[in-house]
Structure 1
Amino acid sequence: MVSANLRKIPLKEIMELPDNRILLPVKVNHNGENTIEIIPHKASMSYLSGYADPEYIENLQTISLPFLGAGTYRAFQVEGDSMSLYKDGAFIIGKYLEKATELKKGKSYLFVTRNEGITYKKLLKTEKETITVAADNLFYQPYSIPLADIFEIWEYACSISTQEFTKEDFNTDQLQIIELLKELKTEVKELNKNN
């Protein structure tokens, strides 16, 4: 493992890398192992201006989840109803991706973008200069994000719920429709047997 004290290197020199890349500052524990920085929802706006600032990252709270294995991870707190599988306050832990070419159709990602800030969406397709993403909640339409507007990409690694789900949290209308379809399927099979 190679390490350096970034405080001794002028920040301007660190940030000016080829291909407009920046170093991703990470916090390490006393053993030199990466920790998972926690980005609470209330800090998401300040993250947009501090994500490349080692001092900002150093002041974030951290957790450790050794079962995640190698990689760089961050925990982002979610809020809103676009990703209906998570209640407000849940944390999505993402694994850092260095390149958009690592994106996989059908997987979920946290995108740190110029216009939207931090958004958690499922990838529908990639094109030369844009990606198309969608929410789990069908109320929201899929939309495109220019690759040039994406600062960071974090692939879903795991989640931590801070509230317990109840039966009422699930859409009973949708469950009833599924049950009706199952019953219809059974009835069609029975009709086919009798003919």
Structure 2
Amino acid sequence: MANERKRGEELEIAILEAADEIIKMKGYWSLTFQNVAKQAKTSRTVIYRRYETPFEILHALVKYKSKQAFDGPMIDLLKDKGSLREDLIAVMELFQQLFRKVGLGVLDAMLFELRQGNEESLLWLNQAHESNIKVMKKVQGFAMRRGEIKHEFSRMQMILPFNILRMENLMNGKKLTKEYIIQLVDEVLMPMYTKET
């Protein structure tokens, strides 16, 4: 009996899982429509109907992995932990959880695309930063309501912790420990956020 042709969401998942496998095993350079079609057991025509470039596949893969990492948007998972320090640890642990799910190969591919400086990748980076800022504004709101701080964080202060984790994941190529996150919060983030400018 012949295999039934995949359609809809099943097909989309097969394409994205194939892309993920290609990046893990062979690197982003091997993410071609032909390779994805072969790995997903579909045709290049099907891939072309859904995506214009490998970058679009990568973007969809990151969204797919993000949904797998969290049951809903990251900002909705963030609850008041009772102190700025604990809130920051929770945010950094959630972000690290996302990196573990996305994987180093995909993270490296994202960085490669950002270095190209094309409009799509810069828009993507801006969207990531805006999402990070929303999370940090929520943390800031918790801390202000508790009376821990009286000032607002700058844009740079809101983006910095996420950029640190991005770079640490890329440079170390291994999972960062909870101890590292606590050290980052205690030695870098807490002094930065509690000092009035």
Fold similarity call, TM over 0.5:
no
Q: Which has the higher contact order (CA 8 A, sep 6+)?
A: 2
Task: From the two aligned structures, give the one with the greater helix fraction.
Answer: 2
Task: From the two aligned structures, give the one with the greater strand fraction.
Answer: 1
**TM-score of the superposed pair, with normalisation by structure 1:** 0.25
Instruction: Decide which structure has the larger Cα Rg and report it.
Output: 1
**TM-score of the superposed pair, with normalisation by structure 2:** 0.25
